Amino acid sequence: MGNPYLERMRAGEALSPAQQLLMALQLSVPAMLAQVSSIAMQYIDASMVGRLGANASGAIGLVSSTTWLFGGLCSAAAIGFTVQVAQRVGAREEEEARCLVRQGLAVTLVFSLGLLALGAAISGKLPDWLGGAPDICPDASWYFLVYSLTLPVTMANYLTGGMIQCSGNMKLPGFLHVVMCLLDVIFNSLLIFPTRQVGAFTLPGAGLGVTGAALGTSLAQLTVGLVLLWYLLARSPALALRPGEPFRFSKEQLKRAIKISLPVGCEQFIMCSAYVMATRIVSPLGTIALAAHSFAVTAESLCYMPGYGLGTAATTLIGQSVGAGRKDLTRRLAWMTTGLGMVIMTLSGALMYLLASAMMALLTPDPAIRALGAGVLRIEAFAEPLYGASIVAAGAFRGAGDTLMPSCFNFLSMWCVRIPLSAFLAPRLGLEGVWLAMCLELCFRGLLYLGRMKRGRWMKV
């Protein structure tokens, strides 16, 4: 399942501009499919729970920023090892890559168990801390508790899927993410709703509501995660464990993983704590505004997930080109993938503007939530091109091991632009003011990333 152009790049062969573009596309399309299907799962959850009413939607929306924070920390821990895998595979040092696999699985398991304990401990009080209304806090607590208990599964998915992708195999994780979406529909249908009659058929159901949505997603992730783990350890051509190869703990690999992961973890904390603050800014606007905000975030993510797929491909491309010593390709591939991301997200932003009402209609039957959500989506559509630049450029920088400056950029843009502007505009313009602040901040962030890419200092890290 290896990419032939990646293999030629690792061998030091010349690649024409057309072949470089084709290589980027071959890696990007499965990665984009995986990211889009991941967001489709959120769509599924939001759409199914939306049928239960605004309170159920508000309960998930209340804790969503905190679940992003915990998930982001899992992703950051995985990146420290997956980037090194890409570079070792690029350098044809596969034994070192397999050492990283074993060490990564052990270290991230311990890390995820710590997050599990923390999440379970705060789940009862978290909705109150976030300023949730009393009628949605119990459901929000149960949802977050179930999410926390399955964090080791989330961690394993990030690590195993990322390592398989960084070895050059984008197709399997992409396909399994589609399978995960189908499983999510099945499990959610069985767990969210009570037993009901649909025509001549009786559909069984547990009637667990919001808690059932968390359980359904967790079961889908567990099923796919086991397949990814099996493939990584038993079938991957470069990374599968070899008989008699001892487990070797490498302090150097661990130190480098921490050096890469720590800025990304700080970045995730910065970003998601800002999302938590944004939730506190939105909460006083009422349950309708909170639900519309949550649904609009989900709807918008369907448009920017192709950018994250390209970012994943950029990490693999840049990581392997750095490992192979191909400095001639590193800058060119970074600009190529970033430009492609801007084009794709310009198109997705235009579609979001035109289809905003239809996208919200898929998520909720409430007309007030639909109208408010569609309005803020149209504001955000104008930020998508520069948002795409920041997403893909960040992936390219990660492949080169440059994670500190992107974290500084995100801190500057989130806490010095978005949050102050949101706090100022929310009492005056309502939810539209919060999303106007978001649009301006994303444009500012994209310009920061393009400036760093142009200067080229990220290649020297």
Query: Does residue 373 sit within a domain?
Result: yes
The domain tally of the chain equals 1
371 found inside a domain:
yes
CA pair distance 186, 181, nearest whole angstrom: 9
Mean pLDDT, residues 60-85: 85
The answer to which of 17-31, 35-49, 96-110, 401-415 has the lowest mean pLDDT is 35-49
Residue 345 lies in a domain: yes
User: What whole-number percentage of the chain has pLDDT above 90?
Assistant: 42
Confidence check: pLDDT of 3 > 70 = no
CA–CA distance, 34 with 172 (Å, rounded to integer)? 9
Domain that holds residue 336: 16-460
Q: Look at residue 38 in the predicted model and tell me its pLDDT.
A: 64
DSSP 227: H
CA of residue 272 relative to chain centroid, distance: 12
Distance CA 162, CA 427 (A): 42
pLDDT digits (tens, 9 = 90+) for 177-216: 888 888 988 998 899 888 887 777 788 888 888 888 889 9
In a domain, 10, yes or no: no
- pLDDT for 2 equals 58
Question: 4 lies in a domain?
Answer: no
Residue 159: exposure state from Cβ atoms within 10 A (0-12, 13-18, ≥19): buried
429 part of a folded domain: yes
Collapsed DSSP state (helix, strand, coil) of residue 326: coil
Residue 8 resides in a domain: no
Unique residue bearing structure tokens 């195999």: 169
Amino acid code (one letter) for 394 = A
In a domain, 102, yes or no: yes
pLDDT by residue (tens digit) across 381-402?
999 999 999 999 999 998 888 8
